[in-house]
Structure 1
Amino acid sequence: MKPARISVMSSVNDEIEARFPRGAMACPAATTVLDPSVIGENNGCTIQGASFMADPIDLAQKLETFDEAWQPRTVTLFNGHDVMVAKLRGEYAWHVHPDTDDFFFVLKGQLHIDLEDGSTVSLHPGQVYVVPKGVRHRPRSATEAHIMLIEPTGTPNSGDPATAAPRRVI
């Protein structure tokens, strides 16, 4: 059995470290857990933030599990941030994130991001763009685009908690 590597990065992980001392865990293959309350049900995991990653995550495979546009899905956590995938079709509403940048990485298709100054940023697969916090923007895609997003956990995708898509973990 391979010993676990434990990285204590937050108060959540202080609790994890207290409950599960270094080297006390091992994780079955293909286990990704985002809820630290179920940590005891897993064996052989590497702890990174509040998540365990036994195997790489196939983003294309995750994208195959849903069809809804503009409904991001969290695939793992990274230093207090959700790493998400989403499918985009058509135009999203103009919005702003007052407290956080908005990170877009295009996996498939084309993404256009209209900015409040009248400019448009066009992205192709493999390209990244970060909309600075406080900048009003509108992402859009004439055909389906697949993207990866990284945002602080709890950031509403619309910039407004009242209109945001619910957080979904896959």
Structure 2
Amino acid sequence: MGQTPAETIGVLADVTVAEEGLSFGRDLAAPVSVFFGDHRIWSFVPSLQGTRVRGGGCRVAWPASLLPYLKGRAEVSVRHQQSGETLFRGTVAFDVGDVSVQLVTSEGAPLAIDKGGHLGRTFAGSGEDRRGTLVDAVNAALRVLTELDVPAFLAFGCLLGAVRDQELIGHDNDAD
């Protein structure tokens, strides 16, 4: 069980990932993203969500909502969100199973932890109908707010996706 031999890269060469969670050898106040393969499953700030350990650094447990899915092995990478630098990359064994961790719904839709800590579907792999429903709801809300003379605008992931890629961000799951 636990971590198998892994390649650790970058400035934070003391990042480890194991069955119990992630360990950072020093406090990191910048957001990181955790990927299973190419699938972004979770982003967080270690110094805010972790438990400090003696000698510096912190440990961050896997979110409780992920635990039922952590069966088998996964190719895990941890990336600094702002620079994109890979801080950890390796195969992690979550139990003795020889299967790949599958973080998807029964229909195969990707799941990820959102900013509220909940596990849910993301826009990646979602059909046009789901994305279209969200865009329609945002347009309806904007119409009502405009009628009430309340200024409104897109923010956060919706704004970033619209400006950067002209589409919803794949790992997002809501509209701000």
TM-score (norm 1): 0.28
- Bigger share in helix: 2
TM-score (norm 2): 0.27
